[in-house]
Amino acid sequence: MTSDVAIVAYGCTGWRDEWISQGPDGSPRCAVPHVVVDRAAGTPLRLQDGQYAIPRPQRGTPEEELRQIEDDTLARADPWSKPQAGFLRRYFAHVRSRVRDEEGALRARLGPLDSLFDYRAFMFAAPRPLPRAFVTAGDRMIRCDCAFWTGSGILAIEIEGRAAPDPRRERDLAELRAAGVEVVRCPPGSEIDALGLPPLFERFTDGVPIPSGPFKARGIEAYADPQISSSST
């Protein structure tokens, strides 16, 4: 398996090494929901980058598409962990809020294309959360409450809320850090802005000239008004 490619499995209750294998052409394969990231590209995994395991995604407004992604993400989180679900809901609320606050600047960026593209689709430039992700650390796969691929590596969210420190979990976190994973602790109920995340999480629309939807259609991949798109195909 090429070192330039990394598999991040997510939505898993546990891990089995046989879930990852190598195809005849040398490409990595994984038997559970996962994303494949290109280490050499140096670009973050964004909501707009596809690789969803949603059975039948439906094209719609940006909010309708984001709701599908949010529902699917929550469905893959730990069903017994309210703090994990709470973090994910706050994260998607944060994404909506950031784009809403930047409406004027984003419309100005689109310029004459403002009548064609829905500025709200800039929401899909946000980093994609991967709940219950398993990340390689040495010769082990270690669970993360939520993981993001930032372009330079994995950022793992450790959602706190246990009654007492768990020594085994602390050893897992130490191994993740030793493997180059950035671990960010999230106290219960913390707002996304308060976590000290990298600038990417606040300024995810920077450098994105036009919005792109998460569910790619034929032809132009950039997100356009569905009515305009359908009338031109």
Please give the chain's pLDDT, 233 residues, in tens. Answer: 446 888 899 999 999 999 988 888 877 789 999 999 998 999 999 999 989 988 778 888 999 999 999 999 999 999 999 999 999 999 999 999 999 999 999 999 999 999 889 999 999 999 999 999 999 998 899 999 999 999 999 999 999 876 677 899 999 999 999 999 999 999 989 999 999 999 999 999 999 999 999 987 533 334 444 433 333 33
Contacts of 92 (CB under 8 A, 6+ apart): 66, 70, 73
Q: Where are the domains of the chain?
A: 5-231
3-state secondary structure the chain: CCCCEEEEECCCCCCCHHHEEECCCCCEEECCCEEEEEHHHCCCCEHHHCCCCCCCCCCCCHHHHHHHHHHHHHHCCCCCCHHHHHHHHHHHHHHHHHHHHCHHHHHHHHHHHHHCCCHHHHHHHCECCEEEEEEEECCEEEEEEEEEECCCCEEEEEECCCCCCCHHHHHHHHHHHHCCCEEEEECCCCCHHHHCCCHHHCCCCCCCCCCECCCCCCCCCECCCHHHHHHCC
CA 206 to chain centre: 17
Please give the pLDDT value at position 45: 97
Please give the pLDDT value at position 79: 92
Interstrand relation of 154-159 and 182-186 (parallel, antiparallel or unpaired) = parallel
Burial class (CB in 10 A: 0-12, 13-18, 19+), 96: middle
Please give the pLDDT value at position 23: 81
Q: pLDDT tens for residues 1-48?
A: 446 888 899 999 999 999 988 888 877 789 999 999 998 999 999 999
